[in-house]
Structures are given as structure tokens and as C-alpha cells.
Homo-oligomer: A and B are copies of this chain.
Amino acid sequence: MNDAAKLVELRRNGILESTHRGHVVVCDAGGVIAEWGNPAEVIFPRSSCKMLQALPLVESGAADAAGLGVNHLALSCASHQGAHIHTDLAREWLAGLGLGESDLRCGPQVPNDFEARALLKEKPESPCQFHNNCSGKHSGFLTLNMHLGGGADYIEIDHPVQLAVKEAFEDMTEAESLGWGIDGCSAPNFTCEVGHLARAMAKMAQPEKLGATRAAAAKRLVQAMMTHPLLVAGEGRACSALMAAANGRAAVKTGAEGVFVAILPERGIGVALKIEDGNSRASEAAMAALLVRLGVVDAADPRVARYLHRPDINRRGIKAAEFNVTEEVFAQGRPL
């Protein structure tokens, strides 16, 4: 079993100061194309697997029965920052189903969006469950639940909604999940090997070999993410910036504790990575570098470059350090 590989580093005046290690797997339909670290490392995908968790919503017919649009599907895969574009859409979505904030089980969260936070302070008003970064996923769960007719607590591990999510997750990763934990939004999150998560993403990228219903659902969700990058995260966030830069050639999604996945429909490629120490500064840098090597974004694009080579500007405006993906692994690597 390989140990975690050194992927990203911070250098001060050219001298190594900090290092991030992790596990990366790049797959296509034929199997693994490239890997660093240990592909069999068991990880919590956290929010990176939201598009897998949304499969039953579409496959069951619940999304169509509720008249969900491309924007709602994008939001169902989102870790958004509680801006008005996110909270308004979730609120309208649930209202259309005759549901409201109290039906959610994600808990309230102070929004990361600057304007939304300032407005709450000004009113003053407490953040609500619509501000929770997972309120789109939970609106999807509620929509699926109306269809399945389960109880109100749709986040319980043995609830029909979560059983459907688990089945889709295990089917796509082609492995039985041997563990689970409670996520930040109180929904269950199932473990898998990082390589199996990459395999699932490759199937999302090229779903033709899946059954027709699943294939259609996968295509719609990936297309929705790529169509609405801002709904999937928000202004200034890595997922939105990288998807905007990829311009329809990749859907990407971050997960807490240093997880990041990518789906490249044109190339039928899936990527999954986990930074061992859980730091998103490293997962974002590694994902940006992989997308460059995979040819779907340009390293010179400022939306990409800011993650690839992040200068550490000190309090007098001096560039004191620089944060980079390791040359051995990424920058000097051949195209993938």
C-alpha cells in the first residue's frame, strides 16, 4: 500500500515551509490512467459526491414530477455560500412543493456570501436553514421524499431517501461502503476508496454503459452543474471559478476536509482526490493542476492561475511566499 504522496507545497524565499500530501486517482472507462498516493485509501467523500446523492432524485421521476429545472438540479449538487441566488431558489423550490424552511433538516448556517451576511446583520435576522450550504441537496431529498412517501426525518440512515442514496452511491462506486458518518448537514455520508470515487466520476462522465434511466440522470446532473457554476458554489469559490474556466468541459465539486472530484464528459474521465490533512488550499491547487494537465483549462487563465500559484502577500504588500503544486507531480508532468 502506497503512502500519501507529496502534492502541494508552500515555499518561502524558495525554501520549503509546508507540504500537503494526498491521494489522487484519474480514471476513464478502461480503468486507472494516473494515480498518486494510495488509490485504496478509504475516505469520506463529503460534499464531493452530491451529484451521486442526487441521482435518485432524477431517476425516480421525482424531479420531473416536481417540475424541477436545470437550475434546481445544479443547486441539488451544490455546496453554496448562501447568496440570494441560492437561498431564493431553494425557498421558491420548496414553496412550489407546499414545503418550507421548517421541513429542512440541515440546520442553519451563517452564509459565506458577504452581501447576504451583511444584510442579515443589518436587519438584524438570524441565518436560517436555507443559508445552509447544503440546502439545495436537502431540497432534493425533500422532493424525493414526497415521491417515496417517507417520514419527515429524511436524514435518518434507514429512511427510504437515504437507502436510495446509499444504493446509488454503492452502485456507482461499485463497492459496498463499509462505514458512514454524519456530515455537517446531518445527512449520512458513506465512505469509499478514493479510486472507487474516481471510477464513479468516470461513469458520470461517460454514462452510456449504465442503464438508460441512470445514464439520462447522470447526464442531466453533470450538464446542470456545468451550466450553472455559480449555483454550485458562488462568487470567488474554486468550484465556480474552475467550472467557468472549463466552459462546459468539466464539472468539479469540492468536499470538506480536502476532497475534490472532476467529471470530464468530452474525455470520459473522472478524477477524485483527497488531501490527507484535510486542507482545501491544497485540494483546490491540486485540482486546478490536474485540470490543466487534462487539457480542459488554461494555466494562464486567472480563474485557474490563482489556485495553481498562490502568492502569499504579506501585510506590507511583499510577496513573502508562494504556494504551488509540486513540480515532480504536476507542473512538469506530461499531459494526461
The interface of chain A, by Cβ under 8 A from chain B, is 10, 12-13, 15-21, 42-44, 105-109, 132, 179-186, 189, 191, 257-258, 276-279, 282, 314-318, 320-321
Decide: B314 and A257 in contact? CB cutoff 8 A.
no
List of B residues within 8 angstroms of A276 by Cβ: 18-19, 21, 277
Could you tell me if A318 and B181 are in contact, using CB atoms closer than 8 angstroms? no
User: CB distance B13 to A315 under 8 Å?
Assistant: no
10 closest A-B pairs (Cβ-Cβ)? A107-B315, A18-B278, A12-B181, A13-B181, A107-B316, A277-B277, A182-B320, A15-B179, A184-B314, A186-B316
> Which chain B residues border A43 with CB–CB below 8 Å?
17
Sample of 14 more A-B contacts, CB < 8 Å, known A15-B42, A15-B191, A181-B320 = A10-B257, A12-B44, A12-B181, A12-B189, A13-B179, A13-B181, A17-B278, A21-B276, A107-B315, A108-B315, A182-B318, A185-B314, A185-B315, A279-B279
CB distance from A209 to the nearest CB of B (A): 31
**Which of A10, A282, A315 neighbours the largest number of chain B CB atoms within 10 Å of its CB?**
A315
Most B Cβ at <10 Å: residue of A12, A19, A320: A12
Task: Pull 20 A–B residue pairs with CB atoms less than 8 Å apart, ordered by A.
Answer: A10-B257, A12-B44, A13-B181, A17-B44, A17-B257, A18-B276, A21-B277, A105-B316, A106-B315, A108-B315, A132-B315, A181-B321, A182-B314, A182-B320, A183-B320, A184-B315, A184-B320, A185-B314, A185-B315, A186-B315
**Chain A binding surface SS class:** loop
Bound-complex Cα distance A94 to B171 (A)? 67
Q: Whose C-beta in chain B lies nearest to the C-beta of A44?
A: B17
User: Shortest Cβ distance from A14 into chain B, in angstroms?
Assistant: 8
Chain B residues contacting A16 (CB-CB under 8 Å) are 42
Q: Which residues of B contact A282 (CB under 8 A)?
A: 277
Alpha-carbon gap, A317 to B109, bound state (A): 11
Nearest CB in chain B: distance from A4 CB, A:
8
Contact B278 A12 (CB under 8 A): no
Which residue of chain B lies nearest to A41 when distances are taken between CB atoms in the complex?
A: B16
CA distance A181 to B107 in the complex (A): 44
Q: For the complex, what is the distance from the CA of A181 to the CA of B14, rounded to whole Å? A: 8
B315 touches A277 (CB 8 A): no
Q: Give the shortest distance, in Å, between A325 (CB) and chain B (any CB).
A: 14
Bound Cα distance A314, B183 (Å):
7
A43 CA / B16 CA spacing, docked (Å): 8
Is there contact, CB below 8 Å, between B18 and A182? no
Tell me which of A17, A185, A276 has the highest count of chain B C-beta atoms within 10 A of its own C-beta. Answer: A17
In the bound complex, CA of A183 to CA of B17 (Å): 12
Determine if B314 and A186 form an interchain contact, defined as CB atoms under 8 angstroms apart: yes
Which residues does chain B contribute within 8 Å of A106, judged by CB atoms?
315-316
Instruction: Give A8 to B314 CA distance when docked, in angstroms.
Output: 29
Asked if residues A186 and B15 are in contact (CB atoms below 8 Å), the reply is no
